[in-house]
Chains A and B, each alone.
Chain A
Amino acid sequence: NAGVTQTPKFQVLKTGQSMTLQCAQDMNHEYMSWYRQDPGMGLRLIHYSVGAGITDQGEVPNGYNVSRSTTEDFPLRLLSAAPSQTSVYFCASSYPNNLGGTEAFFGQGTRLTVV
Chain B
Amino acid sequence: AQSVSQHNHHVILSEAASLELGCNYSYGGTVNLFWYVQYPGQHLQLLLKYFSGDPLVKGIKGFEAEFIKSKFSFNLRKPSVQWSDTAEYFCAVIRQAGTALIFGKGTTLSVSS
Contact = CB atoms under 8 A, between A and B. Distances in A.
B51 A101 contact: yes
B75 to A, nearest CB: 17
B90 A45 contact: no
A33 interface: yes
Provide the main secondary structure of the chain A interface. Answer: strand
B13 to A, nearest CB: 20
Contact count band on A: 20 to 34
A42 B104 contact: yes
| Tier of interface size on chain B | 20 to 34
A54 B113 CA distance: 50
B99 A40 contact: no
Contact of B49 (A40, A48, A101): A101
Contacts of A108: 43
Given A40-B105, A41-B105, A102-B32, A90 B43 contact: yes
Interface of A: 31, 33, 35, 40-45, 48, 50, 58, 90, 92, 94, 96-97, 99-102, 104, 106-109
Interface of B: 4, 6, 9, 30, 32, 34, 43-44, 49, 51-52, 90, 92, 94, 96-106
